[in-house]
Each structure stands twice: as C-alpha cells, then as structure tokens.
C-alpha cells in the first residue's frame, strides 16, 4: 500500500466490522453467520469456501462486501472447459501504431482484491489447481514472471454439494488453503418472504462504503498483533492433534472414520479466526471460547474421511462436535480461559 495505514484501536475495529456487516446485511437476508465467516476471512487475510445449492445469494454476498469496503471485485464461473489462463491471464501479441509487434501480459480476473470462484468444483482439477499459487503466495507466475496480487486479497469459492451432477472433489491441498468453510443454509420462510420483497419490486438496496483499503489493511495488521496466551494456543493445538486417528485425545468417531487429520494450517486457522472473533467483540486478547467458536468452520474441511463415514452418514459437523467433547476447554485455575 502506498498510503500510510491509519491507526485502528480494538474499539474502532469492532465498530468498523459491525458497519461492514450491516451494509452487507442490506442485501443478504438472514445469513448473519455466513456474513461473519466471510468478514472473518477478510480480516484474517484468508480465504473462504462456501458450500450450498445455487441461488442462495453467494455471489451477491461478495459483491456487496466489495462495495462496502471499496475494493475491486471479479467473478469467474468455473466450468469443465475453463483453462488456467482464463484465471491468471495470458500473453497476447499486440501491434502498436507504428506496426511494431510485441507480447503483452493481459491480466486475468485473479488480479482483483475480491475473487469469486463460482462453482469451483465444476472445473477440472487442473484448473482448480491454478488457484493454489494465488491463494497461498498472493502472486501468480505467468508470462515468465511472478506478478504480485493486490492486497487485501480474498478468494471466496463456492462449491455445489458433491451429490450434484458434474462436480469434481476439490484436492485436499486446495481445501487446506481455505481458512474457513461455511455451509450456506436454505433461508427460512420469513427470510424468503423478505428476499422476495427486496428482489421482485422496484426498490434496490444501496450498499454504502463502511471502510476503504487502507483501513482494511490496518485492521488485518491489528489482527496479527493480538496476543494469544499459551494455554489458548495449546488448546488449538490439542484440537488439531485430536483430528488425527492416532493422535492424543482423538475421539472414537475420529479413530473410526477419519483417514487423515488437519494439517498445521488448521491450527493457524483456529488462532487467526479466534483473533478476529475477539476483536469483533472489542477485546484485545483471545479466549479459549473464541477458538472453540470457530472450530467447526476451521476444521470441517480439513479431515479426510473414508468411505465408512459416507456409509454411516457421519458428517464433518459430527466429527468436530466429538472433538470438542473429547478436548474440553481448560478452565481450572486459568483466568479468562472460557
């Protein structure tokens, strides 16, 4: 960023984040938890994976967020014939006014602060993997050069349930790049009525700016600065270790149905998301309860299950619930642990 970043206090952080969520809430009805998940990923400078059937407002969510923070937004519709160059960009041969020809890099849609990878699991694994470098390194290699992406940079990928036709499972390495995964529920009847009122009439909700790029970068910087006590850090580690079938404290469900547990990125996701959660509450320190609150979103996509889990209808939420029961919060003799 070329401009000097403003100073942001925990109170300003919470107030600004609440304003962003309120602006997004003008167009997204009844999905407060989903909005909180995506805002958490933005402020932790991570990426979000959303799963749900089409038509639930996932595209509108990211577009509204981009307007609320004055950052550019681009969208890629993933299809079986999509190629990596359609995402990162390509070299094109251009002729100038003097007749001289030269190759010039034409950037792809990934060169935006917010990238919506819509229905990411409809593309082939080769194309899905084109996102890996961008998500992890915040840069892409194209045309023989490594090109940095703008900051902040948020990939929000949506995927259809694997039971739907024409889907490809995301590789575990790519799933691990997503800080949090959220399930997009179907709206309640009352929320659906509100959606119809907002979308079938003449009035269109206007999303106003609640922050700008320097403010968001300053908030991301504050997220990193939040201290984490050793017992809170250890609790996050204990949860991740318990996701492994042979790990200490692994519950019976994990030992029976999980083939591979979460990677160290799972622990990083727990701590970063917990830091954001604490600051959203206006607190400058992380509690164990903050870690446990984000455990489902941080770990649900990081445990690789076997066919037995599918046969016995065991899902990720049940596995994380078993983890939280097996690894209780350390409360005895620890101030502020819960």
Q: At what angle do helices 10-24 and 32-43 cross, to 10 degrees?
A: 130
Of the two residues 95 and 337, the one the predictor is more confident about is 95
- Say what the pLDDT of residue 336 is: 45
In terms of CATH, what superfamily is 10-80+113-139+148-215? P-loop containing nucleotide triphosphate hydrolases (3.40.50.300)
Report d(CA 197, CA 191) in Å as an integer.
10
What band does 207 get if pLDDT is binned at 50, 70 and 90?
A: confident
Report d(CA 295, CA 238) in Å as an integer.
12
- Does residue 288 register a pLDDT over 60? yes
- Say what the pLDDT of residue 1 is: 44
- Range from 8-22, 225-239, 286-300, 303-317 carrying the lowest mean pLDDT: 303-317
- The CATH 1.10.8.80 domain(s) of the chain lie at 226-326
Q: Taking CA 35 as the corner, what is the angle to CA 239 and CA 322, rounded to the nearest 5 degrees?
A: 25
- Does residue 54 register a pLDDT over 80? no
- Say what the pLDDT of residue 338 is: 47
The residue with tokens 């083939």 is 259
- The CATH 3.40.50.300 domain(s) of the chain lie at 10-80+113-139+148-215
pLDDT, average across residues 312-333: 86
- Residue 258: helix, strand or coil by DSSP? strand
As a whole-number percent, the residues of the chain with pLDDT over 90 amount to 48
Tell me the three-class secondary structure of 71-114, residue by residue.
Answer: CCEEEEECCCCCCCHHHHEEEEEEECCCCCEEEEEEECCCCCCE
What band does 296 get if pLDDT is binned at 50, 70 and 90?
A: very high
Report d(CA 19, CA 134) in Å as an integer.
29
In terms of CATH, what superfamily is 226-326? Magnesium chelatase subunit I, C-Terminal domain (1.10.8.80)
DSSP 213-251: HHHHHHHHHHHHH----HHHHHHHHHHHHTTSTTSTT--
pTM as predicted: 0.88
């Amino acid at each position: 960023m070329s401009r000097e970043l403003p100073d942001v206090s925990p109170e300003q952080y919470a107030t600004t984040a609440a304003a962003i969520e309120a602006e997004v809430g003008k167009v997204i009805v009844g999905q407060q938890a989903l909005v909180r998940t995506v805002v958490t990923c933005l402020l932790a400078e991570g990426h979000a994976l959303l799963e749900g059937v089409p038509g639930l407002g996932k595209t509108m969510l990211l577009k509204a967020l981009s307007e609320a923070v004055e950052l550019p937004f681009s969208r890629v519709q993933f299809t079986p014939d999509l190629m990596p160059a359609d995402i990162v960009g390509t070299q094109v041969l251009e002729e100038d006014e003097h007749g001289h020809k030269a190759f010039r890099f034409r950037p792809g849609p990934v060169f935006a602060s917010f990238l919506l990878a819509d229905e990411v699991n409809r593309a082939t694994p080769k194309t899905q993997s084109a996102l890996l470098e961008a998500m992890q390194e915040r840069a892409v290699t194209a045309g023989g050069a490594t090109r940095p992406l703008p900051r902040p940079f948020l990939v929000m990928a949506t995927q259809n349930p694997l039971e739907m036709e024409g889907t490809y499972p995301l590789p575990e390495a790519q799933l691990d790049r997503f800080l949090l995964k959220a399930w997009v529920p179907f709206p309640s009847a009352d929320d659906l009525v509100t959606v119809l009122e907002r979308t079938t009439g003449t009035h269109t909700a206007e999303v106003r700016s609640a922050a700008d790029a320097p403010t968001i970068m300053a908030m991301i910087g504050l997220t990193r600065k939040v201290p984490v006590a050793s017992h809170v850090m250890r609790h996050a580690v204990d949860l991740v270790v318990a996701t492994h079938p042979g790990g200490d404290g692994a519950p019976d469900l994990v030992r029976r149905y999980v083939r591979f547990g979460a990677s160290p990125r799972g622990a990083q996701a727990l701590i970063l998301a917990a830091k954001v959660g604490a600051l959203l509450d206006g607190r400058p320190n992380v509690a164990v309860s903050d870690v446990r609150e984000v455990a489902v979103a941080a770990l649900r996509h990081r445990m690789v299950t076997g066919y037995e889990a599918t046969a016995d209808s065991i899902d990720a939420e049940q596995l994380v619930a078993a983890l939280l029961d097996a690894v209780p919060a350390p409360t005895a003799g620890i101030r502020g642990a819960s």
